[in-house]
Amino acid sequence: MTHVSTSYAIGQRWRCLGRHAAETPVLTINRIDQHPLGGEILHVSVTNAHIRHPGLRNGVITTFAHLPIIGQVLERSDAELVGQGMPDPAYLDGYHQWKQAFDAGHAGSYGIPLAEILDLIEMMLAKRDTGH
């Protein structure tokens, strides 16, 4: 059963299903944009993740400053509202890069479960690190 509301607000913190028991990601909504074709794009920061990154000294990323998603990500990730806080200003750099690419037609937003998004990020980082 999902605990997702259809009304999202800046500062909300949502706990989602991770890929394994040790991963309990929390998404903080930093900004909400209206999509030109309808719907909302939620700009979130991710904490409590466990993304392997061979290029880092400790080999793991636990936070991700900016991720553009739609509400279906929360619905498909068995999200539970766990609190309200302030937006994380660290998202701004990633947001500005995304917005420029989005306006040029070169970026979008995720609509798949968060666990799958984390898998994709991990695969992209592994490929980048190995040069493939």
Q: What is the pLDDT of residues 21-38, one digit of tens each?
A: 889 999 999 999 998 888
Question: Which pLDDT tens digit goes with each residue over 80-115?
Answer: 999 999 999 999 999 999 999 999 999 999 999 999
Contact assessment for residue 76 and residue 50, using Cβ atoms and an 8 Å cutoff = no
Is the residue at 1 inside a domain? no
Contacts of 78-81 with C-beta under 8 Å, sequence gap 24+, read 78/2, 78/3, 78/16, 78/17, 79/2, 79/3, 79/4, 79/14, 79/15, 79/16, 79/27, 80/3, 80/14, 80/15, 81/3, 81/4, 81/5, 81/12, 81/13, 81/14
| Other beta carbons within 10 Å of 22 | 8
Residue 3 lies in a domain: no
Residue 41 lies in a domain: yes
Give me the number of domains the chain comprises.
1
Q: Is the pLDDT of residue 51 over 80?
A: yes
Give domain status of residue 82, yes or no: yes
Domain span including residue 33: 12-130
Rounded to two decimals, the pTM is 0.89
pLDDT of residue 90: 96
Mean per-residue pLDDT of the chain: 91
What integer pLDDT is reported at residue 1 of this predicted model?
36
pLDDT at 4 > cutoff 50: no
Kindly state whether residue 55 falls inside one of the protein's structural domains: yes
